[in-house]
Amino acid sequence: MEHVDGKIVVITGASSGLGAETARELVKAGAKVALGARRKDRLDALVEELGTENALAYEVDVTDRVALQGFVDATKARFGRIDVMLHNAGLMPFAPLVENRHDEWDQCIDVNLKGVLYGLGAVLPIMKDQGAGQNIFVSSVAGHVCTPVGAVYSATKFGVRAIAESLRQEVKDWGGRVTVLSPGAIATELVQSIKSDEIRNGTAEFYDEAAITPDAFARGVIYAVSQPEDVDISEILMRPTVQTM
């Protein structure tokens, strides 16, 4: 596919869900992908599926800034450059604030926000040297609207949009491009990151009724990546047709 073929794409959170499916669609379109996450066995299986010539697997925890730099550097060393980074790793530990689940707050902020910043810190100097590069961020419908139990998750997803908008303005002068994808309910393992049994079961019920498949998200990424250099897709907000909120 034009403008996707031959591109080198770094993906965090590639061991399941949206990241894994996007890797498949990108490789089908001719890109090469660097897959990062903590579950290396999953990444290795995906590399086997996609072909070792098209993909590399790298065990990384995005809360570890040095490790994330290592992932980005290993990608550059293997493929020679980085055209796109999909900042996708995330979790969604819904819970009421009154429960004071501060460990979950910390983890959500560390992965969804600081992990994104660490990824950017690692890749931006490379992209700036190249005079081109596209950063694609994963916000959410919850990055546009707030709901009970979603305060911390929404705070991170609103935050991702703030980082992306500032970045968009900062990288104009050297040709950087910035896209935010904000999906609604998509069937992945994300609901399993909710620790409260009651809220997880309720959310799972909603997902069983409403969620669409991850290829919908992957098509959004392909749409953004497939644009010519002079087109910068800023935002894509997508929902299942049946999703009201």
DSSP at 30? T
- Quote the least distance from Cβ 60 to ligand NAP, whole Å: 6
Query: Which residue lies nearer to ligand NAP by CB, 103 or 229?
Result: 103
Query: Which residue lies nearer to ligand NAP by CB, 131 or 148?
Result: 148
Interaction site with ligand NAP (CB under 6 A): 12-19, 37-39, 60-63, 88-92, 111, 138, 140, 183, 185-186, 188-190
Query: Which residue lies nearer to ligand NAP by CB, 23 or 127?
Result: 23
Q: Is 153 a catalytic residue?
A: yes
Query: Which residue lies nearer to ligand NAP by CB, 159 or 183?
Result: 183
Contact 245, 51 (CB under 8 A): no
Contact 174, 217 (CB under 8 A): no
Side-chain half-sphere CA neighbours of 241 within 13 A: 0
Place of tokens 């992990």: 115
- Quote the least distance from Cβ 176 to ligand NAP, whole Å: 21
C-alpha 32, offset from chain centre: 16
How far apart are the C-alpha atoms of 49 and 218, rounded to whole Å?
Answer: 17
Given the residues 58, 153, 207, 223, select the one marked as catalytic.
153
Side-chain half-sphere CA neighbours of 98 within 13 A: 1
* Residues 6+ away with beta carbon under 8 Å from 64: 118
Instruction: Name the residues annotated as catalytic.
Output: 153
